[in-house]
Chain A
Amino acid sequence: MTNQVKAPAKKKKKIASLDRTKARAGWLFVLPFVIGLVLIYIPIIYESIRYSFSNYTVANGVVTKTFVGWKNYSDALFGTADFTQTLLTGLQEMVFDIPAILIFSLFVAVILNQKMVGRAAFRAIFFLPVVISTGVMESVMSTSFNNSDASMDLGAEENATQKLESTMALEQLLASIFTNLGFGVGLVQYIANAVASISNIINRSGVQILIFLAGLQSVSPAIYESCQIDGATSWETFWKITFPMVSPMILVNAVYTIIDSFTTDSNTVMQVINKMYSNAVDGAKHISAAMGWMYFLVVLLIVGLVAAVFSAYVFYQRRD
């Protein structure tokens, strides 16, 4: 009767578009993380926050949880003497450390990027702290080199004072040089402090040097070449080319440095929190959790602030 051919109903099955298949594949790839997030991480965060708002008491193996509201927080802020103080000094330290680490690591990365004899060896040495000075090694080395080469020798105290004197002398010398050059007192103090804590700064800037080095490597040599032909000095080249080109790295490094420096165990605030945690007093663990969350919020605020300020000045090369 008619030439119409009916398409078989089976073939009307919906075929997922490419985008949707790819989206599904994407979910498949991040699946391990999502599982971890749902099963482990989010419950941990939830538990930890709840922990900071309540008081658990264990009697005869039965855990009773009582909700105490902001009590742990107010205890942390006002009940314990040193938390607010340490928090403030910790933030001060951070304000001091982060520019020092950033400037130092950028400087070293620029130097290590130049061609010279023994570059590979220097690179190998400079990144050594990244892999070695963590975890247990950090504590072994810090017990020894903070309270110093001094305590090993017999005249421990004598040696300590000597060491103090020598660094003091260095600081004073530097201070006098820079003051005579007409720098402000604050800057002088800053540089003197940076010199005094140089080993600390070096040990903490390994990853940052790596990241800067990666940024420097990705700058096209053609730009430098044309700059040279136009007669720019290396100083000008640094500020007009290198600095803008690595500015995204500066943002990444600033955020990384902040996060890294406040989550290490050697951080003073973390030490207070850990001490509180290992404290046997009833409820101390809850106060420690409350402290941790307050600290986290403060640092998150700082990271946000720094990221906002830096990203206004970051230069992104358009690559088309």
Chain B
Amino acid sequence: MDNKPQIKRETKNKIRVEFERTSLKERLKAKYLSTYFLTNVVWYVFRLLLLIGIAFVVLKPFYTMIIRSFMAARDFTDSTVVNVPRHFSAIIYKAIIVDLQYFKVFFQTLAFSLSCALLQTFSCCLIGYGIAKFKFRGAKLIFFMVVLTLAIPHGTMQSAIYYRFQHMDILGILTFLSGGAQSGIGWLDAILSKIKILPFPQGISTIRTIIPILLMSATGLAFKNGLFIFMLRQFFRGVPDELEESAYLDGANTFRTFVQVILPLSIPMMITVFLFAFCWQWTDDFYIPLFFTGDRPAFMTYLPSLTQIPATLTNAYAKETGSSSAYKQAIQYGCGLMCCTPLILLYLFCQRYLVEGIERSGLVG
């Protein structure tokens, strides 16, 4: 068949082209029945299903927690109620807010976590910048120590951490000046115990105050700060040296360069670190129980303690539900949700920076 387009001249300025077009069916066939298109569709569907599946696995616990915490007590004795409650009740939340003084606890935890997270972010920035950009003897050793602080589980050192902050001291100077130093040699001890300049023979106890956690935050030793320092170091290594050099030429000293040139650049990364620090401090259940043994002082209630169950609820519902374990768990869900809702809100607000900060960090190497 002759498929050549035929050109006819209709008028002076108009031509008409006549050709046999490939039929619609053929065209569609060519477009949609190719292997390329099919693999793309299959991959697209597969990917979407997979992502939805994973998102489901992540979100399912939250769904269950929300649903369970809103169920009325009698739904727990009803075995037909599984995923959708039949009777709604907000009594758990009422108990948390009223009995456990949620808002008071919330603001205290907020103030505490905020100050800790800010301290951690700032000190980790300083340390990370120092390791990344300056060549000095011992830089490698310090970096190694940073990794080491990350690697030694804090759990194994609980008693040592407690002991250290119970007998807080500056290189033994305080105990020395107060006559508490012991050398193990009789006559020397006799002389040492005569020194009574300061009244702290056992060091200063900082237990049951917020000093230990603030100190650890300020020195980059708090929970997972090694990771932050590592992330920031990688980030700062990616910042071109020319920026600092031009700042030096303009007469800025190193610290001013850091504050006015480097920090504004690294805001996404700092937000990432701040987000981590804040959330991990917020849900911390290691240091606060460690340093605040026994009954907590009134100013230091903290949010994770909300996971203890309000007494009014257990008493009231133990009889109504018979086996209270399911209900107890629901109460814990309620507490957990109240604990992490602020974090989720913060996360939704900041998550854009999270990815951006990590992307720009150029963590390679």
User: Residues of A with Cβ closer than 8 Å to B?
Assistant: 19, 22-41, 43-45, 47-48, 51, 108, 111, 114, 116, 120, 122-132, 134-141, 143-145, 149, 151-156, 198-199, 202-203, 207, 210-211, 213-215, 217-218, 248-249, 252, 256, 259, 262-263, 265, 270, 273-274, 277, 285, 288-289, 291-293, 295-296, 299-300, 303, 316-317
Question: Does B176 have its Cβ within 8 Å of any Cβ on chain A?
Answer: no
Please report the C-alpha to C-alpha distance between residue A31 and residue B134 in the assembled complex, in whole angstroms: 13
Partner of A144, one of B79, B157, B329, B355: B329
Question: Which residue on B lies nearest to A200, using beta carbons?
Answer: B57
Please report the C-alpha to C-alpha distance between residue A249 and residue B279 in the assembled complex, in whole angstroms: 25
Q: Which residues of A contact B127 (CB under 8 A)?
A: 29-30, 32-33
Partner of B218, one of A32, A51, A144, A293: A32
Are the CB atoms of A300 and B151 closer together than 8 Å? yes
- In the assembled complex, 10 residue pairs joining A and B whose CB atoms fall closer than 8 Å, in A order, are A26-B134, A26-B135, A33-B219, A35-B219, A127-B347, A131-B347, A152-B329, A154-B78, A215-B364, A296-B151
Are the CB atoms of B76 and A47 closer together than 8 Å? no
Partner of A211, one of B68, B229, B276, B358: B358
Are the CB atoms of A202 and B58 closer together than 8 Å? yes
**Distance from A307 Cβ to chain B, minimum over Cβ atoms (Å):** 11
Are the CB atoms of A40 and B59 closer together than 8 Å? no
Are the CB atoms of B364 and A32 closer together than 8 Å? no
Please report the C-alpha to C-alpha distance between residue A316 and residue B365 in the assembled complex, in whole angstroms: 7
**Distance from A217 Cβ to chain B, minimum over Cβ atoms (Å):** 5
Question: Does B336 have its Cβ within 8 Å of any Cβ on chain A?
Answer: yes
Question: Does B32 have its Cβ within 8 Å of any Cβ on chain A?
Answer: no
Please report the C-alpha to C-alpha distance between residue A116 and residue B48 in the assembled complex, in whole angstroms: 9
Are the CB atoms of B365 and A44 closer together than 8 Å? no
Partner of A126, one of B55, B145, B146, B160: B55
Q: Which residues of A contact B333 (CB under 8 A)?
A: 140, 144
Are the CB atoms of A202 and B130 closer together than 8 Å? no
Q: Which of B116-154 contact A (CB under 8 A)?
A: 123, 126-127, 129-131, 133-137, 139, 142, 145-146, 149-154
Q: Which residues of B contact A285 (CB under 8 A)?
A: 159
Are the CB atoms of B134 and A140 closer together than 8 Å? no
Q: Given A51-B160, A131-B343, A144-B333, are A155 and B58 also a contact pair (CB < 8 Å)?
A: no
Task: Count chain B CB atoms within 10 A of each CB in A126, A202, A263, A300 and give the residue with the most.
Answer: A263
Are the CB atoms of B351 and A123 closer together than 8 Å? yes
**Distance from A293 Cβ to chain B, minimum over Cβ atoms (Å):** 7
Partner of A215, one of B44, B76, B77, B363: B363
**Distance from B256 Cβ to chain A, minimum over Cβ atoms (Å):** 11
Are the CB atoms of A154 and B77 closer together than 8 Å? yes
Question: Which residue on B lies nearest to A49, using beta carbons?
Answer: B160
Q: Write out, one digit per residue, whether chain B residues 338-359 have a CB within 8 A of any chain A CB (1) or not (0).
A: 0110011001100110110011
Are the CB atoms of A125 and B58 closer together than 8 Å? yes
Number of interface residues of B (CB under 8 A): 101
Kindly list 13 other residue pairs between chains A and B, CB separation below 8 angstroms, not including A132-B279, A136-B339.
A29-B127, A48-B160, A135-B280, A136-B284, A145-B61, A154-B76, A154-B77, A198-B57, A202-B57, A214-B361, A218-B359, A263-B153, A273-B155
Q: Which residues of A contact B159 (CB under 8 A)?
A: 48, 51, 277, 285, 289
Question: Does B335 have its Cβ within 8 Å of any Cβ on chain A?
Answer: yes
Task: Count chain A CB atoms within 10 A of each CB in B130, B304, B323 and give the residue with the most.
Answer: B130
Please report the C-alpha to C-alpha distance between residue A51 and residue B49 in the assembled complex, in whole angstroms: 53
Are the CB atoms of A123 and B153 closer together than 8 Å? no
Interface stretch of the complex, out of B23-31, B163-171, B310-318: B163-171
Task: Count chain B CB atoms within 10 A of each CB in A141, A149, A152 and give the residue with the most.
Answer: A152
Partner of A248, one of B164, B229, B364: B364
Are the CB atoms of B347 and A132 closer together than 8 Å? yes
Task: Count chain B CB atoms within 10 A of each CB in A31, A37, A123, A273 and give the residue with the most.
Answer: A37
**Distance from B42 Cβ to chain A, minimum over Cβ atoms (Å):** 13
Please report the C-alpha to C-alpha distance between residue A283 and residue B47 in the assembled complex, in whole angstroms: 55
Are the CB atoms of B126 and A32 closer together than 8 Å? yes
**Distance from B120 Cβ to chain A, minimum over Cβ atoms (Å):** 11
Q: Which residues of B contact A136 (CB under 8 A)?
A: 283-285, 303-304, 307, 336, 339
Q: Which residues of A contact B171 (CB under 8 A)?
A: 38-39
Please report the C-alpha to C-alpha distance between residue A27 and residue B340 in the assembled complex, in whole angstroms: 39
Q: Which residues of A contact B303 (CB under 8 A)?
A: 136
**Distance from A231 Cβ to chain B, minimum over Cβ atoms (Å):** 13
Are the CB atoms of A259 and B151 closer together than 8 Å? yes
Q: Which residues of A contact B227 (CB under 8 A)?
A: 207, 256
Please report the C-alpha to C-alpha distance between residue A195 and residue B325 in the assembled complex, in whole angstroms: 29
Are the CB atoms of B154 and A263 closer together than 8 Å? yes
Are the CB atoms of B61 and A213 closer together than 8 Å? no
Are the CB atoms of A29 and B344 closer together than 8 Å? no
Are the CB atoms of A135 and B285 closer together than 8 Å? yes
